[in-house]
Amino acid sequence: MRVIIADNYEAMSKKAAEIVAKTVMEKPDCVLGLATGSTPIGLYKELIRMHKQQGLDFSKVRTFNLDEYYGLPPEHPQSYYYFMYENLFKHINIPLQNVNVPSGLVKDVKAYCLHYEEMIKQAGGIDIQVLGIGGDGHIGFNEPGSSLGSRTRLKTLTEQTVKDNSRFFERIEDVPRFAITMGVGTIMEARKCLLLANGTKKANVVAQAIEGPVTAQVTASVLQLHPDCVAIVDQEAAAELKRKEYYTYVERMSQQFDKV
């Protein structure tokens, strides 16, 4: 795993945008795996800026989102489709028919999840998967104890996740208790994974994910086994990394190598 320690949230977001933009420019019809939450908002703002000011073209790009609350319609202000539309899709030139966010209203959940997996396969697989990390180390909604080989499915959210996400709702009672999420195995099939984390609250779980044992109790830790994973964290989120100085050294040396 390549670990990049950025000075702050803005620098983290810009670096992440550079990596995503490089994928889009090198492969105009690439498939992007996207995440919601507060962490990737800076990344999306930078991609919007690059589209408007530098002509970054999303006209052939296809996207698949990690997850969606079960029971929320796409027009609900807290649905992840709404989040993606407001924070990215409506600001760039991506055709909405190229956008895929799991449906939170399907009746036959099992059949739908198999269909979502098949759509990813038919699209040629995900080229780069953007990921955040939950306070308990989950990626997507793959809560602690999720199988590291799991596929897209319906998951029951932990009390911690419900509490963490309650800040987006008027009352904690309004937070859905279920979500449709890509599985850990699904995420690991992406050609490249991009893990983002910022803030002191994420410092402990970032250290567990990057330097701790690979365990289903911290599903993000499986990214240690991915052949091409980049973790970009700010200084606060990197505070508990034991090899922090080494990661900084590696990045400095790699920049020198790139100039040769």
Among 120, 115, 122, 135, which Cα is nearest to 38's? 135
Of the CATH numbers 3.30.750.24, 3.40.50.1980, 3.40.50.1360, 2.40.400.10, which one belongs to the domain with range 2-259?
A: 3.40.50.1360
SS3 224: helix
Tell me the HSE value of 48 on the side-chain side, using a 13 A CA sphere: 14
Share of the chain above pLDDT 90, in %: 93
Among 43, 98, 95, which Cα is nearest to 65's? 98
- Phi and psi dihedrals of 209, rounded to 5? -70, -40
- Phi and psi dihedrals of 53, rounded to 5? -100, -25
Decide if pLDDT at 45 tops 50.
yes
> What would the pLDDT profile of 47-93 be if each residue is shown by its tens digit?
999 999 999 999 999 999 999 999 999 999 999 999 999 999 999 99
User: Which single residue is written with the structure tokens 């700010």?
Assistant: 234
In angstroms, the CA 121 to CA 45 distance is 29
The H-or-E segment that residue 160 falls in is helix 159-165
Decide if pLDDT at 160 tops 90.
no
The H-or-E segment that residue 203 falls in is helix 203-211
What are the boundaries of each domain within the chain? 2-259
Decide if pLDDT at 205 tops 90.
yes
Residues labelled as active-site residues: 67, 136, 138, 143
Estimate the crossing angle of helix 41-54 against helix 80-87, to 10 degrees.
40
> What would the pLDDT profile of 242-254 be if each residue is shown by its tens digit?
999 999 999 999 8
Beta pairing partners, 230: 2, 194
In angstroms, the CA 36 to CA 168 distance is 12
Please list, residue by residue across 100-137, b when 16 or more beta carbons sit within 10 angstroms of its beta carbon and e when fewer do.
bbbbbebeebeebbeebbeebeebeebbbbbbbbbebb
139 pLDDT tier (thresholds 50, 70, 90): very high
Reported pTM: 0.95
In angstroms, the CA 108 to CA 67 distance is 16
User: Which single residue is written with the structure tokens 């999720």?
Assistant: 146
What are 221's two structure tokens?
């830790």
- The CA-CA-CA angle for residues 197, 202, 205, to 5°, reads 105
